[in-house]
Amino acid sequence: MRKITFQEALNEAMIQEMERDKNIFVYGLDVTDHKRIFGSCKNILEKFGKDRCFITPLSEDAMTGMGLGAAINGLRPIHIHQRVDFLVLAMNQLTNMVSIHRYMSGGKVKVPLVIRAIVGRGWGQSSQHSKSMHSIFAHIPGLKVVLPTTPSDAKGLLISAIRDDNPVIFLEHRWLYFTEGEVPEEPTPIPLEEPNILQSGDDITIVATSWMNVEALKAAEVLAKRGVSIEVVDPRTIAPLNDKLIIDSVNKTGHCIVADNDWIHCGFGAELAARISEKCFNDLKSPVNRIGFAQAPCPTTRPLENEFYPNAVNIIREIEKKLELETTDLSREEFYSWEKRFKGPF
């Protein structure tokens, strides 16, 4: 199969869906400038015109409510934010209107609204351009929360999100934009609410979100050389959460680490740990461990930023502790440094 990047996959999904359904439109800050949301909105203006792809005033709150109003009136809006941090200004609409509207109508209306937002990282993104906050969105009944990892997920899940009749928050990690992978040319939806086993293994389960899957796979690759067999499960959609594959995996391995691309405290890892303790209690050989951001605002300077973000090495060390392995010599391993590709500024 042909390979394309995550960014191209997003772009292709939107274009193919917009060709299929004229009620889909794309809007948000900067969607039509020369950068086109890191390439993900390339050619949309040219193909579909300014009625279906347009920039907005800097009014995140009202523009979110506008999307809801359009959605209940038969349109299928895709609202895009360059950073999740900007989406916070729409929290009122998200939590007080978008998420409740169907319920408050007694099930009479549908809300087919997609909100794409990018999770920033690195090169000094600092505290206000780096948040993911997926557990905060996932906490709110009525919202769906999707975190694609692979280019194929980016396309297949975005298609499903667009076709879904519910509000979907679609969170894309900036560094994943560069990743390449096999993606079908045809519009092929991947069902929301289906976790993905990125790699099968028997000794331990790593449940990872978004970028942390890249780190988890690297950890698995390193430890495979020592004969440790790691299962990496990507939930992909964290709300509503279908935990069956995760529970089955932990029942099989007896060990679980949640590597979340977010803060740990009150986060998605806590939710999973609780579910696993309820549903896997008898098969658990060790407590569920959690890996995530340092419990601090994201700092700017590189050394502190390195401390802030968890990585494959942290995962390896955690696995060694859990499985009582000796410390692996990592001096000859090469770990990802995506900053070779991502030189900022944004």
β-bridge partners, 199: 232
Shortest Cβ distance from residue 95 to another protein (Å)? 9
Residue of 35, 39, 110, 197 interacting with another protein (CB under 8 A): 110
Q: How far is CA 115 from CA 57, 87, 102, 166, in A?
A: 17, 9, 17, 11
141 binds another protein (CB under 8 A): yes
Residue nearer to another protein on the CB measure, 129 or 163: 163
**Rounded CA gap, 199 and 195, in Å?**
12
Checking phi first, is residue 324 left (phi over 0); if not, alpha (psi -120 to 50) or beta?
left
42 binds another protein (CB under 8 A): no
Shortest Cβ distance from residue 144 to another protein (Å)? 7
Strands 76-81 and 114-119: parallel
Residue of 4, 41, 45, 111 interacting with another protein (CB under 8 A): 111
Residue nearer to another protein on the CB measure, 111 or 230: 111
Binding to another protein (CB under 8 A) within 186-245 occurs at 240
Residue nearer to another protein on the CB measure, 47 or 265: 47
Give me the catalytic one of 129, 134, 173, 255. Answer: 129
62 binds another protein (CB under 8 A): yes
131 binds another protein (CB under 8 A): no
Shortest Cβ distance from residue 128 to another protein (Å)? 19
Shortest Cβ distance from residue 160 to another protein (Å)? 13
**Rounded CA gap, 231 and 238, in Å?**
18
Task: Find out whether 80 and 27 touch, Cβ atoms under 8 Å.
Answer: yes
Note if 101 is an active site residue: no
Task: Find out whether 77 and 118 touch, Cβ atoms under 8 Å.
Answer: no
What number of helices (H) and strands (E) belong to the chain? 13, 14
Of 326, 261, 313, 260, residue with least CA distance to 289: 260
Residue of 36, 81, 101, 174 interacting with another protein (CB under 8 A): 101
76 burial type by CB count under 10 A (0-12 exposed, 13-18 middle, 19+ buried) = buried
The residues of the shown chain that bind another protein, judged by CB under 8 A, are 23, 25, 51, 56-57, 59, 61-75, 92-93, 96-97, 101-111, 141-142, 144, 165-166, 240
Query: Which residues have a catalytic role annotated?
Result: 129
